[in-house]
């Protein structure tokens, strides 16, 4: 008897199905939901910058949390193709090579900087961790420049030898510092989230 190959996404799970049902473009939305529930990062009326925003789940959820009195701006290498509410927008761009006028379009200061950026993975955990760290350093640099005092930073990082150094650097820039692995993050994934709140 020949065995049938499973159809569709072999990684599909409870959260993937839930995201489809609730009309979010990716299951990653539940990581932001968990972060928000536990750490209350995004406030109504807040200005949120979402780095690595495609396909747009965090953008959508952040826009729900800020409500229309807030503003949510995303940037990603890939275009976001879903329909966003009027107070949310997505730009195509490389965070490490932004166009000179990006901040004129996006806004100068934010209350929250989110980074769910992830490199294209190679399967080599050291290479992937180094690439993830590189993106985190770029996100942290933006957070230092663009967060208003008291602001918050959430950054995905792949665990590797430099996580502690990066985490300590974030700790020194914020009053509150946490490391968090949401339940909805796959157990096999090496990702964790570094959270800083109350920027000095």
Ligand X SMILES: C[S@@+](CC[C@H](N)C(=O)[O-])C[C@H]1O[C@@H](n2cnc3c(N)ncnc32)[C@H](O)[C@@H]1O
Q: Where along the sequence are the contacts to ligand X (CB under 6 A)? A: 25-26, 28-29, 52-58, 75-78, 94-96, 116-118, 135
Q: In the Cβ-directed half-sphere of 124, how many Cα atoms lie within 13 Å? A: 5
Query: Nearer to ligand X by C-beta: 53 or 197?
Result: 53
Beta bridge pairs of residue 110: 147
Q: How far apart are CA 146 and CA 125, in angstroms?
A: 31
Classify residue 62 as exposed, middle or buried by CB count within 10 Å of its CB (0-12, 13-18, 19+): buried
Residue 197: in which H helix or E strand, if any? strand 191-199
Catalytic residue (one of 18, 21, 38, 156): 156
Q: Which residues pair with 3 in a beta bridge?
A: none
Contact (CB, 8 A) for 197 and 39: yes
User: Which residue number, 121 or 198, has a Cβ lying nearer to ligand X?
Assistant: 121
Going from the C-alpha of 185 to that of each of 58, 79, 128, 191, 199, the distances in angstroms are 14, 24, 17, 8, 26
Strands 191-199 and 110-115: unpaired
Give catalytic status of residue 21 as yes or no: no
* Helix runs in the chain, H state only: 14-21, 29-39, 57-66, 102-106, 125-146, 163-173
The least CB distance from residue 147 to ligand X, in Å, is 18
For residue 65, the minimal CB distance to ligand X (Å) is 13
CB of 194 to ligand X, least distance (A): 15
Shortest distance in whole angstroms from residue 135 CB to ligand X = 6
């Amino acid at each position: 008897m020949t065995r049938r190959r499973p159809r569709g996404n072999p990684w599909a799970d409870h959260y993937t199905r839930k995201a489809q049902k609730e009309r979010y473009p990716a299951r990653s939305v539940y990581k932001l939901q968990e972060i928000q529930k536990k750490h209350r990062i995004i406030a109504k009326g807040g200005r949120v910058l979402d780095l690595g925003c495609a396909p747009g789940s965090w953008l959508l959820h952040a826009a729900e949390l800020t409500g229309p009195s807030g503003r949510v701006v995303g940037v990603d290498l890939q275009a976001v193709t879903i329909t966003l509410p009027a107070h949310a927008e997505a730009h195509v761009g490389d965070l490490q090579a932004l166009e000179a006028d990006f901040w004129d379009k996006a806004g100068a200061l934010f209350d929250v900087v989110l980074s769910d950026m992830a490199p294209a993975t190679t399967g080599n955990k050291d290479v992937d961790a180094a690439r993830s760290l590189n993106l985190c350093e770029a996100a942290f640099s933006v957070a230092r420049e663009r967060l208003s005092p008291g602001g918050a930073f959430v950054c995905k990082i792949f665990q590797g030898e430099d996580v502690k150094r990066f985490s300590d650097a974030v700790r020194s820039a914020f009053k509150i510092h946490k490391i968090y692995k949401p339940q909805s993050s796959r157990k096999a994934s090496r990702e964790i989230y570094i959270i800083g709140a109350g920027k000095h």
